[in-house]
């Protein structure tokens, strides 16, 4: 899958839920055959700047794809694919 310009981030405070989303997202990216690096951003101010009040946030190409929970890997893969 072509992904040279794809940017994937997990925004969170560093809590266990945020870390879990980060770990599952990295696995989903690998399963999708992407070579995109997943960044883990622990800047709560960035979440607020996006107009969001919950974490963690899965951001794909600058847009929030999932907010406030850690879904299963299927939902994460779908969110990534839908926002590529």
Nearest to 7 by CA among 43, 34, 47: 34
pLDDT in tens, the chain (84 residues): 455 678 999 999 999 999 999 999 999 999 999 999 999 999 989 999 999 989 999 999 999 999 998 889 999 999 999 998
- Other CB atoms within a 10 A radius of the CB of residue 51 amount to 7
What is residue 4's predicted lDDT score, i.e. its pLDDT? 60
Classified by CATH at the fold level, domain 8-82 comes out as Glutaredoxin (3.40.30)
Which tokens belong to 8?
Answer: 């994937």
- Rounded to an integer, what distance in angstroms lies between the CA atom of residue 26 and that of residue 44? 21
Q: Where are the domains of the chain?
A: 8-82
pTM, two decimal places: 0.90
Q: Of 48, 47, 74, whose CA–CA distance to 56 is shortest?
A: 47
- pLDDT (0 to 100) of residue 71: 84
Token pair listed for 12: 């969170």
């Amino acid at each position: 899958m072509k992904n040279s310009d794809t940017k994937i981030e997990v925004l969170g405070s560093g809590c266990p839920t945020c870390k879990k989303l980060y770990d599952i997202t990295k696995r989903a990216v690998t399963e999708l055959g992407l070579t995109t690096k997943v960044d883990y951003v622990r800047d709560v101010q960035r979440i607020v700047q996006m107009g969001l009040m919950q974490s963690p946030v899965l951001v794909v190409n600058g847009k929030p794809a999932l907010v406030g929970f850690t879904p299963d890997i299927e939902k994460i893969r779908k969110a990534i694919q839908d926002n590529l």
